[in-house]
Structure 1
């Protein structure tokens, strides 16, 4: 049986690092408002994650898992296939109007979810919601490097964004639990709607740079432009391989933690939350340290080391096993290391995309390509993790996914290593 894990200390030291490393970037008014918009929208999205599971159970009972799994698949398909299309359709448009419009579409869709009575209605609304997100997120991400042209400041913004995602993954379920003590789960969708409306209002308060008038191209050329720019660059092909390296062990954590904790270790629901919290905690710690680390090491070194940490930690745990009494602390330690590697491998990717762009007008297309390709890796990794853990053993799934992650790291290293004639980013 798993013992309760103690609370980790060092909050004051962490806060000191945070203040010294990242808070100063919030002095920029435009970025400060956009970051606040991101936090508000993330909070609303987190409430939807909880409410959607409850809605699926309310509509489908014992088949709720199938409904929720299908909804998540629809989400990933929208991300993979619609983000390049959205980037093409919005090329040259006023970026602020685009972001506000997509936020309002998301808000209206979330407000419809409490009134659904059929499963197909859930699928339809989730498709609309995620289609809007597939347009919003890359456009939002591509705006930040234009607002913060100094690399040090942009690095701090990337770390702050990573930290916001990690905190949201911990805070939103707690907020939802508190609200559910006062209201029914349907009301959580209203909270989601308010989050997107708040995001839209905050975006309206800033003046965003206008993109130059785009060249006349066909819709197909504009849709595939980001992918062509991405795949023509050896560094970005390395990033694509690193997306595989991150998705494979990452999917093991997100899909099979509950199985490892409850079936293999005999733990409780609280232990599942603690294990996932260890993953998030490792990611948060590295997000705090990355701005300083990236002044001493180049992106390639840090990102490859992150992918190698994820694969190596998973392989070590798979070989060592989860036998008591060390199974529980070994799982916590491994998930913390994998979370740290996750942040190291992914957070600097924005810097790589910015360096690889020929001009600021390329950024939306490149960010949309990275958004689509990275989610394509997760679209493969999620069902693979579930299938391996079900048909084989969880340790076998962990070993296989970690090995595939290691292959991704080796491939990424080969792409980057072959560019010796040019300075390493």
Structure 2
């Protein structure tokens, strides 16, 4: 897996991602402490609103930002957005009211909503080989999971030496270091040959996403992992401290078990995908999620819950890690930023539904009923994905009659009936309307 880091461009991008994630993790810890300082009696409500603002920014800003920056060089865009995020982080320690926090959080998350899809869409252009790209997806999943463990530990160590305000300096340094790494490399900038209106550019990713069979299936899979993941992220503290009577340290251990399961799956997925197509691997992940949620009804002890959370982590990663491969195959290079932005927005829209559902159901009708409801949602989403994304359509054989023999898209195609026959995953573009 680590051989992919021999590619200098990808290595710098990966290091930029890791450093920026660590900085974001420090800001998450600092923000919780600052919310308590600003309004101790409503700290939970402040954080809840901040998370809602984050999701709103992710869902609404990503497609618009992608359209606005379609003709901008990717390196310039990524560096500029890192600088914006660093500037916002530099302002956070000086907040004096809750509304200021909400405003800055929206700006910060809006910048992230523009940065992340562009960053993700760049990787498949840097790593043309699918095996290399699969390894990159696994490394990215590992980076996200490790950040959940390392950032709180690093924050705890720093808080023994300084106040939480200085954690934001770590965030600033992280974003600036990320920007510096990106400036040291050249990035590909595929451009569409068609001139499109702002409306077309804004909606193109969503329109492409919702007309491609495997991407409609991917949307259902996103809903499945949101249902399974929400049970973990929303109700772990209630299960651990109320149901099983354990302390805060045991809550952290349970959440770490979920991350560990996700990391184990991410390590195994590149080898697994050499022998099994993406579709059955991802569908098996949703089956594991649904089964684990139903098994939650029978959990007798805290340590059984820890094992169950690890299983949910495995299922979560089995679905999430290969999703970039599906997006990569579903559009031409110039369409990838729009497709990744659509995936970013739609996947977070799923979480906007399942987060409050998991919390409200757990508080009103009980955790057992919540397990059943979320397991049912996961199973139905899995069945919907299987129906929307038929296995027969993973590769589509077709003939091009309108392309010259030397056109790069039909390299390796076979002459047939006055055209050129070849096969690839279904995509929607100027050559495949």
TM-score above 0.5: yes
Alignment: residue pair count: 398
Shift of 1:213: 5.0
8 Å CA contact 1:283–1:341 kept in 2: the answer is yes
1-structure distance, mates of 2:92, 2:169: 9
8 Å CA contact 1:82–1:131 kept in 2: the answer is yes
Shift of 1:211: 2.3
Report what 1:104 is aligned to: 83
Shift of 1:347: 0.4
Sort the Cα spacing of 1:334 and 1:129 in 2 relative to 1 into closer, same or farther, 3 A.
same
Q: Is residue 384 of structure 1 aligned with residue 357 of structure 2?
A: yes
8 Å CA contact 2:63–2:205 kept in 1: the answer is yes
Deviations 1:293-313 (A, max 9, x none): 000100001111111111111
Structure 2: stretches of 5+ with no match in the other structure: 397-423, 426-433
Deviations 1:56-76 (A, max 9, x none): 000010200010100110000
Report what 1:203 is aligned to: 182
8 Å CA contact 2:279–2:391 kept in 1: the answer is no
Deviations 1:277-329 (A, max 9, x none): 110000000111111000010000111111111111111222x1x4xxx3222
Deviations 1:96-147 (A, max 9, x none): 0000000000000000000010000000000000000000000000000000
1-structure distance, mates of 2:194, 2:46: 43
8 Å CA contact 2:192–2:335 kept in 1: the answer is no
Structure 1: stretches of 5+ with no match in the other structure: 1-21
Report what 2:340 is aligned to: 367
Alignment of 1:20-99 (within 5 A): 22-99=1-78
Report what 1:129 is aligned to: 108
Rg larger for = 2
Alignment of 1:137-286 (within 5 A): 137-286=116-265
Sort the Cα spacing of 1:190 and 1:231 in 2 relative to 1 into closer, same or farther, 3 A.
same
Shift of 1:54: 0.4
Aligned partner (choices 288, 294, 303) of residue 329 of structure 1? 303
Sort the Cα spacing of 1:205 and 1:259 in 2 relative to 1 into closer, same or farther, 3 A.
same
Deviations 1:238-297 (A, max 9, x none): 000000100001001001000000000001111101100110000000111111000010
8 Å CA contact 1:40–1:199 kept in 2: the answer is yes
1-structure distance, mates of 2:394, 2:236: 43
8 Å CA contact 1:317–1:330 kept in 2: the answer is no
8 Å CA contact 1:59–1:117 kept in 2: the answer is yes
Alignment of 1:112-123 (within 5 A): 112-123=91-102
8 Å CA contact 2:38–2:97 kept in 1: the answer is yes
User: CA RMSD, aligned part only?
Assistant: 1.2
Deviations 1:210-241 (A, max 9, x none): 22255222211110000000000010000000
Shift of 1:417: 2.1
Report what 2:322 is aligned to: 348
Report what 1:394 is aligned to: 367
Sort the Cα spacing of 1:421 and 1:222 in 2 relative to 1 into closer, same or farther, 3 A.
closer
Shift of 1:422: 4.0
8 Å CA contact 1:107–1:194 kept in 2: the answer is yes
1-structure distance, mates of 2:70, 2:212: 21
Please state whether the residue corresponding to 1:24 is helix, strand or coil.
Answer: helix
1-structure distance, mates of 2:290, 2:180: 42
Report what 1:296 is aligned to: 275
2-structure distance, mates of 1:57, 1:215: 51
8 Å CA contact 1:249–1:398 kept in 2: the answer is no
2-structure distance, mates of 1:280, 1:27: 27
2-structure distance, mates of 1:353, 1:229: 11
1-structure distance, mates of 2:192, 2:319: 34
More helix by share: 1
8 Å CA contact 1:110–1:189 kept in 2: the answer is yes
2-structure distance, mates of 1:293, 1:164: 20
